[in-house]
Amino acid sequence: MSATVQTLEAMERPPVTMSSRLEGELLEVSMGPQHPSTHGVFRMNVTLDGEIVRKLKPVFGYLHRNHEQIGEQTTYLGSMPYTDRLDYFCSMSNNWAYALSVEKLAGIEVPERAEYLRVILAELTRLQNHASLLGFLLSDMGAWGTPLMYAFREREKILDLFESLAGSRMMCDYMRFGGCRVDADDNWLAGARKIVDRFPKFLDEFEELILGNEIVIARTQNVGKLSADLAISAGITGPMLRACGVNYDVRKVDGYGFYPRFKFRIPLGEHGDTYDRLMMRALEMRESVEILKQALAQIQPGAIVNPKAKIRAFRPPVGEAYGRIEAPKGELGFYLISDGGPNPYRYRVRPPSFINLTVLEDLCLGHTVADVMVILGSVDIVMGEVDR
Amino acid sequence: MESLEQIKARAEAAIPGAKIDIVPNLGPANQPSLLIDNEHAPAIAKFLRDDPTLRLDFCSNVTGVDWLDRVTKKTVKVKKVVEGEEKEVNEPIEERIPGYLEAVYHLFSMAHKHGPITIRMRTRDRGEGARLPSLTPVWRSAEFQEREIFDLYGIRFDGHPDLRRILMWDEFEDHPMRKDYVQPDDFEWEPTPHDDVLARAKQHYAPRPAEQELRPS
């Protein structure tokens, strides 16, 4: 009886040559979660053929804390400060979406001045979100620092306004069911007018700096094209949808708040590529400035909270409601089911940036790794909202 | 936009065998929903998407809801023979409603700019029968959201192209959004040692005989 020991040397292996490594071998790369361009802890499993992306699977959940279950275990008002942490760039619009849904659920009216304040704060949020997004996107393309600092300079002015009104720069916790928490005095409104009046000057400067730039055009035009049919089917919302030429803005369609009272236009893209998505933000900021000018001119003194809205022992009647607003990143919705108790039976957030990532693979296929970062930057995600 | 009764009548006429119920919503929001049967759900969804007057091409929100077993108490009049006489007696009875999981879809139309229409599907039970047909082939936006429902509620979607966990890690076993989910005792060392890991840990920390002898008495 003899036993043979098979060693590694005895096994037949194909000879390794340079050509067999280079031709047609796919390489799997895990991009993230610590990559600086993934805007938080987000990972993509990318299959590469040389430098070309052949497959891309996003991996979520690094920031998952089961926000929805925590919302079911606290009272309705107790969830309000926690909505700030969803999309931590736009806490004011998160507050508004949640307040709007609860007002639908319980049938609460909102006084006029509170609606104006909500519009003003939501549009200021849109300004600072879009400005800093453009800065981050330029950073992703390799323009380190300068455009981002220009954008953050303007963002700081708006955050100072938030701080003087709500007491906090980013975690504002400002809206209440049936109104707002504190009133804005005349000094605050004068300060807001000053910032809004100066904002177009910044936009002129910023657009001149970046949007005509040869490198920006080379990196973004015809990169990450999205067709209108796919965008509608995949539930894409916000500037990303309008860059494909689909005219759908919740501010116009639902007419919530006092948006029907203001004159503004919806900018639409033509090609659906990264450059259009970038331009969409720049054009939307101009329209936001128009809305802000009208709102700041029309606002009248009055009550800021509905006196009939209960704060203690708030129990909405049995039923369910879905409310949505046009947040800077897309359609932000809250779906609530009440069983008559002090906390919701079901509390659901419809996060726009999570659903906008559905088409990330379709956008990136056939492009290089360097383009993936630019495309992801133009989708505009915040991981606090994606993972919840 | 058409009323839900008209949509129900037209859909049932267009798809033979389909059964749609209207679920009322008592709250001030007044958003009643359509409960569609699981067998014909993809056909009904296609009808809602492609019908020229509805064109519900935008599926905005997809989510799950967990409804536990419920016991409702009722009083029913029962004829009974009491002391040789037949009488009507009020008797309390308990009615047991088995629990189920629900998937809720909020539909809008980008073409006609109306909505929302809410449709919902219910599973047979909360255990093995928690299966529903996937509507991802109809609306692509349901892809990640149905994965999320599978992850957090444990509804299996038949026909979904890529049904994996999305927010929790792959080795996680329970479904944390269910109402009867029990949180682990120890968050720090989750997953807590169990079975062979626990046996090895006990073996590791058990005092060895040599050490016992060395210990001063």
Contacts of B176 in chain A (CB under 8 A): 66, 69
pLDDT band for position B192 (cuts 50, 70, 90): low
Q: What is the pLDDT of residue B193?
A: 61
> What are the pLDDT digits (tens) for A320-361?
999 999 999 999 999 999 988 889 999 999 999 999 999 998
Q: What is the pLDDT of residue A20?
A: 46
For residue A28, give how far its alpha carbon lies from the nearest alpha carbon of chain B (Å): 19
Q: What is the pLDDT of residue A7?
A: 47
What's the CATH class of domain A74-386?
mainly alpha
Domain spans, chain A: 74-386
For residue B140, give how far its alpha carbon lies from the nearest alpha carbon of chain A (Å): 4
> Which residue from B minimizes the CA distance to A102?
B29
Place of tokens 């990972």: A43
Tell the CATH superfamily of the B4-67+100-185 domain: NADH:ubiquinone oxidoreductase Nqo5 subunit (3.30.460.80)
Q: Which of B140, B143, B166 sits opposite A61 (nearest CB)?
A: B166
Q: What is the pLDDT of residue A93?
A: 92
Question: Does the distance separating the beta carbons of B29 and A105 come in below 8 Å?
Answer: yes
Tell me whether A66 touches chain B (CB under 8 Å). yes
Which of B61, B119, B143, B178 is the best residue to mutate to test the A interface, defined by the most A CB atoms within 10 Å of its own CB? Answer: B61
Amino acid at residue number A309: A
Residue B213, pLDDT > 60, answer no
Q: Specify the DSSP element, H or E, that contains A31.
A: strand A27-31
Tell me whether B2 touches chain A (CB under 8 Å). no
pLDDT top residue among B27 and A265: A265
For each of chain A's 388 residues, which pLDDT tens digit applies? Answer: 445 444 445 445 555 554 444 556 788 888 878 877 777 788 888 888 888 888 888 988 888 888 999 999 899 998 999 999 888 888 999 999 999 999 999 889 899 999 999 999 999 999 999 999 888 888 888 888 888 888 899 999 999 999 999 888 889 889 989 889 898 889 999 999 999 999 999 999 888 888 788 888 888 888 888 899 999 999 899 999 999 989 999 998 988 888 999 999 999 988 888 999 988 999 999 999 999 999 999 998 988 888 888 878 888 888 899 999 999 999 999 999 998 888 999 999 999 999 999 999 889 888 888 888 889 888 888 888 888 8
Query: Helices A112-141 & A146-166, crossing angle to 10 degrees?
Result: 160
Domain spans, chain B: 4-67+100-185
Q: What is the pLDDT of residue A309?
A: 81
For residue A319, give how far its alpha carbon lies from the nearest alpha carbon of chain B (Å): 4
For residue B193, give how far its alpha carbon lies from the nearest alpha carbon of chain A (Å): 22
Question: Does the distance separating the beta carbons of B140 and A234 come in below 8 Å?
Answer: yes
Residue B70, pLDDT > 90, answer no
Contacts of A110 in chain B (CB under 8 A): none
Which three-class secondary structure state does DSSP give residue B32?
Answer: coil
Q: What is the pLDDT of residue A126?
A: 93
Contacts of B167 in chain A (CB under 8 A): 60-61, 64, 387-388
Which three-class secondary structure state does DSSP give residue A115?
Answer: helix
Tell me whether A266 touches chain B (CB under 8 Å). no
Q: What is the pLDDT of residue A303?
A: 87
Tell me whether A314 touches chain B (CB under 8 Å). no
Q: What is the pLDDT of residue B183?
A: 73
Tell me whether B70 touches chain A (CB under 8 Å). no
For residue A235, give how far its alpha carbon lies from the nearest alpha carbon of chain B (Å): 5
pLDDT band for position B211 (cuts 50, 70, 90): low
Question: Does the distance separating the beta carbons of B58 and A232 come in below 8 Å?
Answer: yes
Contact yes or no for A59/A52 (Cβ under 8 A): no
Judged by phi (left if over 0) then psi (alpha if -120 to 50, else beta), residue B19 lies in: beta
Q: Which of A66, A317, A359 sits opposite B27 (nearest CB)?
A: A317
Contacts of B166 in chain A (CB under 8 A): 60-61
Contacts of A316 in chain B (CB under 8 A): 27
Q: What is the pLDDT of residue B15?
A: 86
Residue B190, pLDDT > 60, answer no
Question: Does the distance separating the beta carbons of A60 and B169 come in below 8 Å?
Answer: no
Distance CA B146, CA B131 (A): 12
Q: Which of A380, A240, A249 is nearest to A324 (CA)?
A: A249
Distance CA A273, CA A350 (A): 25
Tell me whether B116 touches chain A (CB under 8 Å). yes
Place of tokens 């073409």: B111
Tell me whether B15 touches chain A (CB under 8 Å). no
> Which residue from B minimizes the CA distance to A349?
B61
| Number of alpha helices (DSSP H) and beta strands (DSSP E) in chain A | 16, 8
Q: Which of A122, A72, A381 is nearest to B63 (CA)?
A: A72
Return the C-alpha torsion angle A348, A354, A359, A360, nearest 10: -160
